[in-house]
Amino acid sequence: MIEVGVITLSKKRKAAPQPNTSSREDKAPTLKDMLSADILQKLKLQADELKASEEKQKQDALAKAEEARKQEQKRNENDMSYLLDHYKVDNSKYK
């Protein structure tokens, strides 16, 4: 009898280093820790205002693009050459 041995090779996984909470206390305070609460509140308010203005700009751009599309469609509906070029002839409906 011939036995075939199966060798499995696997990579050893390195464990993720655990954050040491005591080392954080030894470090210098962060910018957030150094700022006062009212300054943080102002910064958060300013960030919210910027997000709102960006959202408004996106919606305005979408509305403008939609209006331009509608204007183009309306112009094409009145253009006879465009209508003739894009007219689909299906004679099987009329038999």
pLDDT along the chain (95 residues), means of 10: 58 62 67 83 95 97 97 90 80 71
Which pLDDT score, from 0 to 100, does residue 84 have?
Answer: 81
| Torsion angle of C-alpha atoms 20, 22, 26, 31, degrees rounded to 10 | 70
Domain annotation covers residue 67 = yes
Which pLDDT score, from 0 to 100, does residue 95 have?
Answer: 67
Domain annotation covers residue 69 = yes
The range of the structural domain enclosing residue 74 comes to 60-87
Domain annotation covers residue 83 = yes
One-letter amino acid for residue 51 of the chain: K
Domain annotation covers residue 75 = yes
Domain annotation covers residue 93 = no
One-letter amino acid for residue 4 of the chain: V
Total structural domains within the chain? 1
Evaluate whether 86 touches 80 at the Cβ level (below 8 Å): no
Tokens of 72: 């183009």
Domain annotation covers residue 81 = yes
CB neighbour list of residue 29: distance below 8 Å, 6 or more residues apart = none
